[in-house]
Structure 1
Amino acid sequence: MICDDARPNVVFETIESSLLKGNPLGDPSLRHVPVYLPPSYDGTERFPVIYLLAGFASTGMSFLNYGFGRQTLPEMIDAMIRRGEMPKVIVVMPDCMTRYGGSQYVDSTATGPYETYLTRELIPHIDRKFRTLTEATHRAVVGKSSGGFGALRLGMRHPKLFAAVGCHSGDMDFDLCYRPNFPVAARALEKYGGSLPAFFTRWESLDKKPRGEFALLDIMAMAACYSPNPSLPPPGNMKLPFEQHTCQLVPEVWEQWKSFDPLTMLNEAKYQDSLGSLRTLFLDCGSQDEYNLQFGHRRFSARATEIGIAHRYEEFPDTHTDTSYRYRASLPLLAEAISG
C-alpha cells in the first residue's frame, strides 16, 4: 500500500564545472541538478541510474514543475516504484541550459562543451556522491524532444557509458523537423535588419517573449549547436543554414547540420554497433506531432529493423506537447534493463 502522504525524495546537487567555466555565453559554471532517490535509499544499498534530459527551453528543474491534474516526473517515478511497476533507480535531471535556450547536449564553440560536461564531469560526480552502480550496464539515458535527441545521440556516441536509451519525440529528419521553420525565422529576422545580435538583445530584454519570434530563437539556438562560428562574438556566433534574403539553403552549412541528424548517424557502422550493443532501445512519437517527427521516427525504426538493431517503437495519438505521461512507457523498460 502507498501511503497518501508519501513524497518523492529529491535532493539538489550543486556541481561546479571546470569545463563550463569561461564558456562563450557567460552561462554559469555552477549547476544545480535535481536527483531523485528511491524510497529505500539509505546510503548503503547501491542503485542503477537513469539520466533524464529535458527538452529545448527546459532544464532539470523543469521536471519538478507542478501542474494541476498531473504528477511531476519525480512523483510519477516514485509512485511506479512504490507500486512495484518498475525497479528502484536513481534518476538524475541534468542542467545543460544556455542563454540561447538549450545546448542539444553537444559540444559547441558557440555555447560550451555540454556533451563532455555531462559524460566526463556530471556522471563521475554522481557516481562519487551517491550510492550508484557505476558500471555502464547499470546506466541509462532518456529524454523528450531535444532531450530525446540528446539521449539517442549520447547512446550512439558513448556505448561504454550507457546500456539503455529512451527517445521520446526526439529531433530527427532535419529536412522535415527544422526546414519548415526556416521561412518563419527568416521573416522574423527581417524585422531586425537581418541582425541576429539585434534580435537576441531585444529578446533577452523582454519580460514577455513574443511567441511569433520563437521560431527564430529556436533556429538560432540550433545553429549555435550545429554550425557555430567562433570568428564572431556572441550573440550571433553561428552560421544560419539558409540565406536570409531568399531563404535558400546554404549547402555547406546544411551539411554540418545534417551530420548531427540521428537518421544520418544511423548510416555509420560505428553508431549501428553502438545501438546494437544496447540492452534496450525505446523510441516513441505522437502520430500528430506538429514538428513532423513521427515521419523521422518511422524512418529511423524501419532502417534500424533493416540493419538488425533490436528496438521498440510506439506511436500514440497525440501531438508534441504535454506528453510527459509517456515516460510511464519508457522508464520501467529502461529501469528493468539496467537492474539486472
Structure 2
Amino acid sequence: MFRRLPLRQILCLLPLLVVAVWVVKHRSLIGSGARQMFTANPYWLLTAVATTGLGWVAVSFARQGTVLERLPARRLFATQFAAGAANHLLPSGIGASAVNIRFMTGCGLPPARSSAALALYFLAEATARMGLLLTLLLAFPEALRLGPLLPESVSGTVVAGVVAAAGVLVAGVALVGPVRRLVVRFLRTALADARSLHTRPSRALALWGGSLAFPLLQAAGLMAVALALELEVRPAHVLLAYLAATAVAAVVPAPGGIGSVDAALVIALVAAGAPVESATSTVLAYRFITVWLPLIPGALVLGGLVRWKIV
C-alpha cells in the first residue's frame, strides 16, 4: 500500500504535517501573540504585515543579485516565501538554504554555482546587518541600557563588544575541521563570482540593496508593532534593539529562531527602555505576524513548489 504512494505527493504533504505538529506544540505562544493584537492599533499592524511581505521582495532581489543568470521573478518570490516555512523545520537557516539551492539548480545552475551563490548571499547579508548595527551603535551609543537586568554602567559600547564576540564565536565554530574547508571553498567561489557580479551594476544593486533592505524592513515591522501597542521607545532605538537581538540570537541554532530570537528581542527592548511586560507583548505580537501567520500558507506554497518540481 505504502509503496503505491508517489514519493512527491508524500513530500508535498510533509511540510503541512510538520507545521501542524509545530503549531500544536506552540499553541500557547501563538495564542498569546494573537491576543495581544486585539488591543493594538490595526493600521500599524497592517503596516507590520506589509513590511513582512516586502521583506520577501527584498530577499528575492538579494538572491537575484548573487547570480549573473536571470531567475524567473515570480518563482523566485514564491521560493522565498516557501523558504520561510522550510526555515522552521531545520536549524540555522538550513531549510531555507536547501530550498534555494534546489530552486537554483532547477533553473539550470550547477550545484557548485548554487552553493557559491548561497555563500555570497550570507556574506552580503551578514555584512549589511553588522554594518547597520555598528552604525547605529555609533549614532546612539547610550540607546541600549539593560536597566534592571544589568548595572546602569552598561552602555552601548559593551553591547557592541558582546555582539562582536558573538560574531567571532559563530565564525570560529564555522571554521573548524571539515566545515572550515567547505566554507573556504564556498567563499573562494563566491568571491570569484562576486568580482564578476560587481561588473554588472544591476546585480550589485540588487545584492546590496536587498541585503540592506531586508533587516531594515524586518525592524520596521517591529517598530510598527511597537507603535500599535504604544510602546514608549524611540523608533531608532527599536531598530537598534532588533539588530542587536538578532545578531546575538544567531549564536543559538534554533529552528526559525523560536525561543532564542524571542528572548533576545525582549531583553533588547528592555535595554532600550521598555517595561518588561510591554516588551514581551510587543515581541509576541511581532513574532505572530512574522512567523506564525505566514507559516501555513508558506507550507502550502512549499508543497506546491515540490509538486510542480520547481524545488
TM-score by length of 1: 0.27
Which of the pair has the greater relative contact order for Cα pairs under 8 Å at 6+ separation? Answer: 2
Say which structure is richer in helix: 2
Say which structure is richer in strand: 1
TM-score by length of 2: 0.29
